[in-house]
Structure 1
């Protein structure tokens, strides 16, 4: 690691380096002029001995006059300020690098005449070296006695020169000649540097830069846009406003101005001197920038669209920046530098170059190296160490174009890092975060997300002092609840135009005195909230009748009482729990450092967000806390700067600490739950400049999401209460915010402003239908609609219960609505739900049930009807026995409901082909042969004609048929039988012979 040798500076009195004419000692040119001027300075003791190294007292008059460090070649210019020649043979020079040894300036006689110069390149000397951006040079006599020394922290542009009392950057390089010193700072060095025309979270603004070497007073300067109507009402820079050398000044054009103006998409800004006519600088544009318009490089370059808005900071022209530096790792470990990409896309940094304050050992970033969007790249194999006084310089691949740089004069106790990460100035970080976002001290705040101006909102002397807690009534935008500490008074305020006044109804005109549940005492009510039950919950830090004793309690009051004194229905004393959670401090939390605010957080928000109960280390389960009122009560403790969430049992007045929440603030004054933003607001008073920290539920715990400054137009008041109107109060994208000033500054305790409304974060709800559904879309069963809900931002209150549709009918509809805590709602509707749970009607047509059919069989039909979903199919099925045929009709409707009907008719077990059936018998001719066919069977036996009870001869069925011959000798008119035997059964048919 490198260390920087201490540097001693020599200052020349007056402006001897500016010598343009012969008219007087301050306007001489050439070596004689310089010598004359220096002689004059020496004769008046302008060269103070204390400015020289101790060893240089009485030394020859050789002094450093000018130094060039970048780009190569470097040079050092010496001047002989004495009135006698000085021989530099054997004289030496050394820089700040302890690894270097002094290099000899001249090895032969080298005489510098009085007033003359000697210029040399340190790198060309024997044992020479280059000069870095944070470095020094010391001139020594041959015996090592130091004669003069100069040091710097960044490269000169173009050189450093002794000018008057300072070692400053020159106007131009003048090796071997009189120094070209910058003129005194003037308004011409001020330029427009950055413009925001599309509004940041506050308003439109422009930024000025002072490129000069000294401060410039810009008080009374006037700013105009392109609108001629604004000529008579320009924005005016406030009195006593000065931009230091190299400094920046940003001013809003539409707030804290009368009347002010916004900047348009196609517009311009013109900066004028107080005379209103002399133009300092102007810039115009066409179309809003996605970020801002700014000079690149910052201060001197042309205007371009910047990478990010950097109000009050140097312009971000490259998305890659030096972000964190470790120059003295305590581990120990290697020195490292971290780069950050602040853009939304990866950046290829292959071949880019890193240097320290010198140029001897540059580090080149490897090929195929990129930094992801919003990512970090830490480099710890730099090849060079970083000293206590050193620098990190980042160059483009050409090794010439400087991208970013940071220099320091001593090691950091941790690291140096930008705060905010990637954007802010370098500070000493809280801890090293190599390759990750910087750990910045304090809160990284943003401007208040609403109006930057506030107005008084109460009448003078309404509250003598000590108004602390505030809460809007959730059921009325025109009702505000307040709590006053010390005196311990609760207030119901109503809106009267732009003012809030005490309600004159129900005994509230002078407020009401709260008491503890026993009807005694004087609770020091610091905070107030409206619970889900409509009761008031007050946070009290002590009993003012015993004010030296801490009694941190949450008290519950009935706001509908007409009594002048309100007695608490419940008290939950949380003193012991909070002291235990705070680590049992000794002494305990003080009586005036306890509860400052209280807020109700509903269970729906907590369970939807997966809140973890620190008492059980499991997901928060509301059922585990009986009688707790549907949510947790979160209190703010001033002393610890933390929030504590309690489940309050209204039955036995017990309480359970469910969570301890860090806020990032050292002290607290109030807490609010913002359902619209799904955030807890942790509020600080003037001890922390009125900052607020917003906490979101993530991973089961509350973590910091955003932090805001108080409105720019509001003084740093002792604001102990904050109330944000419900979403119903949004008008044109903003809604009311109220602050309570415990100090009643200027006779007012209430101040009103606005905050930007957050879009509702509309939740989503979908419905899924379950039931027995046919391909046609019709259901033939009850249909259940089940709803699925998802939050979008604010958690949902509840998801609709399932709906069951049981009745048959076409085009039915079911709907479900979900509401978010922040006010967003969503409804889903499913229509055209067709349900048919009724079977169709069906009959068998074309058949007379029970009739005997001989010969031509009937032609049955399927007769089906359905009045709701309609018929899909109607089919017939036939089953037969030798004596019966059954017809079954099956009807199916479009919902899939099925109905059946049957019809049976009689048949003969067998038929005789070609014979007539008359009077219950077949008529057969004598001597003829007939084919006999069995009904419903294909195998079995057919008998010959027989009389009596039992056949005597049989013939087998072939294919269900056989033949029978009628003997010719049979007497006509006689009755015979033919028998069929099949499947173990016998069937008989009568026949009668004919001629």
Structure 2
């Protein structure tokens, strides 16, 4: 487990070495749809693109992680009552698109409103003359980005990125940042741009289609300009309630931004997390006029983001969550999470208490079993291994293997491995990394241990153990914090991927030939070093020796987990809040070197914690274009004391196939 001291050490060393829309939480505050007839998840459906040229096409996008039925839904513009439409599909898959042609046509200076079959407003957009020619599109993220005039109208049914202008207008950097329907009904807007934006002629409106837009200046005469990086607040003259919305319009009548929330969602407030950019979620304290606190936990605005589902239960005696430490910035060029916006709390509260760690935290490495994707392996610090299976939507210990997990030892049955990372080899065995012996925690012990999961008994000892400690003298300073910055994750990579992609063996300078290493099995092991974010490549030989293939830079200041994903054909290096909760996908480039390809953040609805474990289910588990992604929080802190996620270690979301 990474301590606050080790986080500081990482930041110091690397500085020298290297140039939630709302949460819908069941069991706590159960935010329900506005009407019984409304389909679950309707708040996640957003207008994503619209053109008032020729075919008058509309595109809807589902930001959620489950499909939403739009059967019987209607639309209207500024000149006709709600009409049914004929979509390309009656169901929008998670992360998917549906298009339709307006039954009455759309024109300049028009608007579009989408309703559920019960008449609940789902979303709306307005535009001025020429605003939807060739199209109005959300830019900066499908379903969540700012509305701008697109450069083409050819992206209907697909992501908007290629239709978005290279430079987003300054006005589109202004976003609704926080809103409360609790008393004063106040709206906060934030300017994330580098220049001030005049909003003296801007207006706002709620989701009552009988209401006309109201000027911001009439509600707050001093609200004329939003400075760069600054805020403006105003009280809604229309009033705001449960199951409501705010739509922000510029001086030309173009929609700039919007937020929609469900019952009690904006009490005390709904706020973007991260400030100015993230999804909306319910806060515990309103912070109008300043940076958002992002300390909330319960259900709120479904209009522009994901939901955190699940949770419940209460902390048990001896279960002590640990607050996150060492939070750093997100690397430049990082992309938004490509999977579903929704995330589920996927374990029981304080589920991982053990005799060597009764606090119930310290779950670190995760790995799906490629041969049996219904099994998820988890490593817990202070030497425990868990075989997890799904039960009622949660990952729970497999009672047929060990309901309490199995304790692991070093070779000879000694010590307490500081078990951090794990992976499943081609032989079905579990390979676990350790940074040190927790019985002697000032001394590094960077090892990879091979365990046979079919072995009987409550304690496992390794079949083989490979000790690489001597390769990292920088960790052997007599400090337990430095000793705790070793092997944090490990991933098994098949030889077939390395050879098919032309990886150049650094030992020979030629194409990698597995036959040169007859005792290494059928793949190599990539161990992630927390100290500096590098990957160290090893062939683990059956005679107990190992071959070192060198070091690979991930471009990250630290690495907490490593996994090979057969679906994307990429090696993934994961970093927790130290690197802004990011996952770097590595590929073999044209020169035969393994290099970073693309980096993604976590879903915005998730807490910013020491999320040290990450795994993606094998591609054979795909359903409707998505498969499961799983995270572990070794501090089980969630959004803090009193939140639904407090005391939980496992989170489940979706990733594209």
Q: TM-score range by the shorter chain?
A: 0.5 to 0.7
**1:596 corresponds to 2:488:** yes
Is this contact kept in 1: 2:341–2:605, CA < 8 A? yes
Alpha-carbon separation, structure 2, partners of 1:634 and 1:289: 51
Q: The residue matched to 2:336 in structure 1 has which SS?
A: coil
Matches within 5 A, 1:400-439: none
**1:713 corresponds to 2:605:** yes
Per the alignment, residue 456 of structure 1 pairs with 345
TM-fit CA distance, 1:497: 2.7
**1:628 corresponds to 2:517:** no
**1:316 corresponds to 2:180:** no
TM-fit CA distance, 1:740: 0.8
Alpha-carbon separation, structure 1, partners of 2:526 and 2:446: 13
Matches within 5 A, 1:457-476: 457-463=346-352, 464-476=360-372
Alpha-carbon separation, structure 2, partners of 1:310 and 1:509: 44
Per the alignment, residue 522 of structure 1 pairs with 416
Greater Rg by CA: 1
Q: TM-score, normalised by structure 1?
A: 0.35
1:293 to 130, 137, 147: 137
Structure 2 CA distance for partners of 1:198 and 1:721, relative to 1, 3 Å: farther
Matches within 5 A, 1:490-509: 490-506=385-401, 508-509=402-403
Q: The residue matched to 1:532 in structure 2 has which SS?
A: coil
Is this contact kept in 1: 2:432–2:490, CA < 8 A? yes
- Tell me which of the two structures has the higher relative contact order, counting C-alpha pairs closer than 8 angstroms and 6 or more residues apart: 2
Structure 2 CA distance for partners of 1:291 and 1:598, relative to 1, 3 Å: farther
Per the alignment, residue 536 of structure 2 pairs with 644
Q: TM-score, normalised by structure 2?
A: 0.52
Per the alignment, residue 532 of structure 1 pairs with 426
- Normalized per residue, the structure richer in strand is 1
**Aligned residues: CA RMSD:** 4.5
Structure 2 CA distance for partners of 1:300 and 1:528, relative to 1, 3 Å: closer
Structure 2 CA distance for partners of 1:467 and 1:617, relative to 1, 3 Å: same
Alpha-carbon separation, structure 1, partners of 2:511 and 2:390: 42
Is this contact kept in 1: 2:75–2:112, CA < 8 A? yes
Is this contact kept in 2: 1:686–1:718, CA < 8 A? yes
Q: Deviations over 1:856-898 (max 9, x none)?
A: xxxxxxxxxxxxxxxxxxxxxxxxxxxxxxxxxxxxxxxxxxx
Matches within 5 A, 1:243-254: none
Question: Which runs of no fewer than 5 residues in structure 1 stay unpaired?
Answer: 1-191, 205-223, 233-253, 320-440, 758-995
Q: The residue matched to 1:555 in structure 2 has which SS?
A: strand
Alpha-carbon separation, structure 1, partners of 2:606 and 2:412: 42
Q: The residue matched to 2:482 in structure 1 has which SS?
A: coil
Alpha-carbon separation, structure 2, partners of 1:693 and 1:714: 18
Alpha-carbon separation, structure 2, partners of 1:480 and 1:194: 36
1:680 to 571, 590, 611: 571
Q: The residue matched to 2:497 in structure 1 has which SS?
A: helix
Matched pairs, number:
389
Per the alignment, residue 725 of structure 1 pairs with 617
TM-fit CA distance, 1:518: 1.3
Q: The residue matched to 1:477 in structure 2 has which SS?
A: strand
TM-fit CA distance, 1:615: 2.4
Q: The residue matched to 1:681 in structure 2 has which SS?
A: strand
Structure 2 CA distance for partners of 1:468 and 1:723, relative to 1, 3 Å: same
Matches within 5 A, 1:822-837: none
Alpha-carbon separation, structure 2, partners of 1:613 and 1:261: 41
Is this contact kept in 2: 1:447–1:710, CA < 8 A? yes
Structure 2 CA distance for partners of 1:544 and 1:255, relative to 1, 3 Å: farther
**1:747 corresponds to 2:640:** no
TM-fit CA distance, 1:732: 1.2
Per the alignment, residue 467 of structure 2 pairs with 573
Structure 2 CA distance for partners of 1:465 and 1:517, relative to 1, 3 Å: same
Is this contact kept in 1: 2:152–2:163, CA < 8 A? no
Alpha-carbon separation, structure 1, partners of 2:478 and 2:136: 52
TM-fit CA distance, 1:523: 0.3
1:697 to 588, 612, 629: 588
Is this contact kept in 1: 2:340–2:654, CA < 8 A? yes
Structure 2 CA distance for partners of 1:301 and 1:669, relative to 1, 3 Å: closer
Matches within 5 A, 1:769-780: none
Alpha-carbon separation, structure 2, partners of 1:588 and 1:533: 34
Alpha-carbon separation, structure 2, partners of 1:466 and 1:314: 45
Matches within 5 A, 1:188-587: 195=49, 198=59, 226=75, 264-266=99-101, 269-270=112-113, 282-283=126-127, 293=137, 305=152, 316=165, 442-463=331-352, 464-485=360-381, 487-506=382-401, 508-578=402-472
Is this contact kept in 2: 1:538–1:556, CA < 8 A? yes
Is this contact kept in 1: 2:581–2:611, CA < 8 A? yes
TM-fit CA distance, 1:684: 0.8
Matches within 5 A, 1:936-947: none
Structure 2 CA distance for partners of 1:511 and 1:311, relative to 1, 3 Å: same
Is this contact kept in 2: 1:194–1:315, CA < 8 A? no
TM-fit CA distance, 1:688: 1.6
Alpha-carbon separation, structure 2, partners of 1:749 and 1:488: 17
Q: Deviations over 1:550-608 (max 9, x none)?
A: 1111011110111111111111111223559x9x9999992111111111111111112
Alpha-carbon separation, structure 2, partners of 1:611 and 1:261: 35
Structure 2 CA distance for partners of 1:449 and 1:227, relative to 1, 3 Å: farther
Alpha-carbon separation, structure 1, partners of 2:62 and 2:134: 14
Structure 2 CA distance for partners of 1:514 and 1:680, relative to 1, 3 Å: same
Question: Which runs of no fewer than 5 residues in structure 2 stay unpaired?
Answer: 1-45, 51-57, 66-72, 83-91, 103-110, 140-144, 169-329, 353-359, 638-645
TM-fit CA distance, 1:280: 10
Is this contact kept in 2: 1:528–1:537, CA < 8 A? yes
Structure 2 CA distance for partners of 1:641 and 1:305, relative to 1, 3 Å: same
